[in-house]
Structure 1
Amino acid sequence: MTQLEERLAERNLRVLKIEVINGAHAGRIYRIETVDKENQMVNLVYKEFETERNNELDFYSKYSKIIKQFNKVVTVWDSAPKAILMDDLKSPLKNDFKILSDLEKQNLIKRILDRLAVLHSLSVSENADGLPIHQITSEWHGWCVDQMNRLGAQNHWTKTEWIKIINNAYEQLDLINFKQQCPRVITHGDPHLENIFLKDGQIWFIDWEWAALGSPLRDITILCQDLYDTRLIQFVKESYQDVLNNHNLNIPSEDYQRDFNYFYIDHTTMMLAWEIEKYFQQYTSEEEVKEIIEFKIGEIQRVTNEELGLFR
């Protein structure tokens, strides 16, 4: 009997089938079919963490009150190999998002925004004392420039102005010295559409590795990274302030706009670097990465110009 089977047996679960979930994950993930002691089928996902990437497990251990209403985690193992067991939520929203109509996309986004607002409305003092504090640093900028240079050394189709546009954004807006304008709230830290699921009529989030205290716009601008339509991005930006108001989080428009723009540029830069990494790892085709880079570079330039025009 393997260690995984032993761990499941401790929960009175017998393994029928184990399937590896492939992808650019920080760990090993398996989809498991089991039966319980009443011979009822139970579908689960088991994730073993890499040694240097177990912040998510610490979060589950320390902040179970937060996670309980947003994630279907069943068990946490803090002994080696560190791992979690959760209900199988099936396919992430990203898988089918592209084929939805514009109205269906907007309706789904509204549901996600409302769920995030519930998280952002939680009392920090009562629920998340001890969480790290998120702020913009030079990390994503440096990584993205390195990735761009690496890409340029291997491909003739790269453009020199891409790095210039990124550098200009960080320099002109003094991004790494930005202090958030919005109240500090509990944030998921990585709520892109691959980490969001819809099951049993409810929105669920996985992968809380980057959970921290920060601006609510931190999560919203990461959500936007899977949207390749400026109209939808604007829809998210405009809609979330109304959603926050409905949850009694009233933020002045200027503060809201500034946080959105700064965090959006930083997170778009981060995602650019990650998308290039997925290309290097052959998860993304050359044609796809070209389209992604062109769109995100255009967004960095657009929002930089918007910020300079609005506040200077």
Structure 2
Amino acid sequence: MNGNRFTTVWTCSHNPVKPEPEGCRTDTEWLQPKKSGENMLNTISREVTDWLLSNGMETMDIYPLQGRFRASLFSITVKNASGQIKDLICKISSNQGVEVHLYQGLLGAEPALAPSWLGTVQTQAGTALVLERFGRTLTETVTGLSAAGRMALVSKAAVKLAEMHGKLEHQVEAQRRGDILPTSLEAVAKPWRQMALDELRGLRDRSGLVNESDATIHLTDLCTIAQRWVDTAHNYYTDTNSRITVTHGDPHLGNWLVRGEELRMVDWEYAGLSVPQRDIAIFLQDIPNLKEQQTLYETYVHTLRKHGWDTDSKQFKKDYFIHFLDNTLMMLGWDIASYRAGTLDADVFWEMISTKSVWIRSSAAFVLSL
């Protein structure tokens, strides 16, 4: 991993109780047809194609998208009544309550945040969201760009994220009354933290040092930090009066779509009412270069400050480091599991460990006074 470029982003089918590293994929696979020309009409239940037809869209072809996802994803080509050909995405899952709620309400009223939602269909396989197919992922788009070009595009996403947080703060009370968006995210994070600790211990027992040529990176120290965080993290999430807003919950670069000058976010199933630092801490996980990471953080807080947030307060910074520590540890556990499964290159993995160990130490020093 070169510190002057953006890392390849690894994400997996989310299952915090029992992660499956073999389900990992690169985000460049996100919108790629599995096999060109293969007709998969029988894979999707008849309810979806019937619904499309009832809305004036004839299904021309359906393709499953590569990679193992928690939801089943399909690319659908349709022809409308005027003969226009359009590409759609169909996402089928048995657990999409939050995402459906958002598309039916908040996201429908904020069309610049997400791809257009055409409708929801109840099928035997689960709830199907039918969305417009909107461009390419940010991860894929920045590949091949110059350093300046990458930073310009990712900075634009950071600004949009801050604008969303500032604008949607007024939605908090209404969303609370609706009782759909979670306000406590501890239940989601807790098993991921434990997985990270278990993976770190396993790597320590097998390796001793993350990188034998760099004796400053001791896995024993990382395990100590992880254990303390597992034991005390719930205190930091329950004992806070911090200002909150609507958060996406998983805004890594692979969940941003780019089309021309426009940006949209997908995969809103982890949305919740929380501090905005939750999102920016996840967003910055994909930026290995510390200078670029700091620049993007400053871009984000500068924009949020325009909406009246005191981003210079000690509490704001503490909340940021809490979420940055939490997410870095959880994703490090994922990285180790991916490496064990053979889906992550060894050189990339060891450099990732080296980079993230620095992040963990600095965050823990601020949060845990280590």
Gap change, CA 1:128 and 1:86, over 3 Å in 2: same
Matching of residue 56 in structure 1 with residue 56 in structure 2: no
Amino acid at match of 2:171: V
Post-superposition shift, 1:296?
A: 1.5
Matching of residue 177 in structure 1 with residue 229 in structure 2: no
Post-superposition shift, 1:195?
A: 0.3
Q: Paired residue for 2:219, among 159, 162, 172? A: 162
Matching of residue 284 in structure 1 with residue 344 in structure 2: yes
Matching of residue 119 in structure 1 with residue 164 in structure 2: yes
Matching of residue 93 in structure 1 with residue 93 in structure 2: no
User: What is the aligned length?
Assistant: 308
1:106 is matched with which residue?
151
| Equivalent residue runs for 1:1-312 within 5 Å | 2=42, 3=46, 4-49=48-93, 51-52=94-95, 55-61=98-104, 63-65=106-108, 68-72=111-115, 73-80=117-124, 81-121=126-166, 122=168, 123-125=170-172, 127-129=174-176, 130=179, 131-135=181-185, 138-149=190-201, 159=210, 161-162=218-219, 164-168=221-225, 171=228, 174-178=232-236, 179-180=239-240, 182-279=242-339, 282-307=342-367
Amino acid at match of 1:97: V
TM-score by length of 2: 0.73
Gap change, CA 1:157 and 1:97, over 3 Å in 2: farther
- The answer (yes or no) to whether the contact 2:52–2:59 under 8 Å persists in 1 is yes
Amino acid at match of 1:140: W
Gap change, CA 1:308 and 1:144, over 3 Å in 2: closer
- The answer (yes or no) to whether the contact 1:237–1:260 under 8 Å persists in 2 is no
TM-score by length of 1: 0.85
Post-superposition shift, 1:266?
A: 0.2
C-alpha RMSD of matched pairs (Å): 3.0
Gap change, CA 1:77 and 1:274, over 3 Å in 2: farther
Could you tell me which runs of 5 or more consecutive residues in structure 1 were left unpaired when the two chains were aligned.
none
- The answer (yes or no) to whether the contact 2:201–2:223 under 8 Å persists in 1 is no
Gap change, CA 1:12 and 1:283, over 3 Å in 2: farther
- The answer (yes or no) to whether the contact 1:187–1:215 under 8 Å persists in 2 is yes
**After the TM superposition, which of the residue ranges 76-85 and 256-265 deviates more from structure 2?**
76-85
**After the TM superposition, which of the residue ranges 196-205 and 183-192 deviates more from structure 2?**
196-205
Gap change, CA 1:16 and 1:281, over 3 Å in 2: farther
Matched-pair identity in %: 21
- The answer (yes or no) to whether the contact 1:13–1:37 under 8 Å persists in 2 is yes
Gap change, CA 1:167 and 1:67, over 3 Å in 2: farther
Counterpart-to-counterpart distance in 1, 2:225 and 2:62: 49
- The answer (yes or no) to whether the contact 1:33–1:41 under 8 Å persists in 2 is yes
**After the TM superposition, which of the residue ranges 213-222 and 15-24 deviates more from structure 2?**
15-24
SS in 1 for 2:264: strand
Counterpart-to-counterpart distance in 1, 2:54 and 2:208: 55
Could you tell me which runs of 5 or more consecutive residues in structure 2 were left unpaired when the two chains were aligned.
1-40, 211-216
Q: Summarize deviations over 1:19-50 as a string: whole Å, max 9, x none.
A: 2211242111112222111111101111111x
Post-superposition shift, 1:222?
A: 0.4
Counterpart-to-counterpart distance in 2, 1:206 and 1:39: 28
Amino acid at match of 1:299: W
**After the TM superposition, which of the residue ranges 35-44 and 118-127 deviates more from structure 2?**
118-127
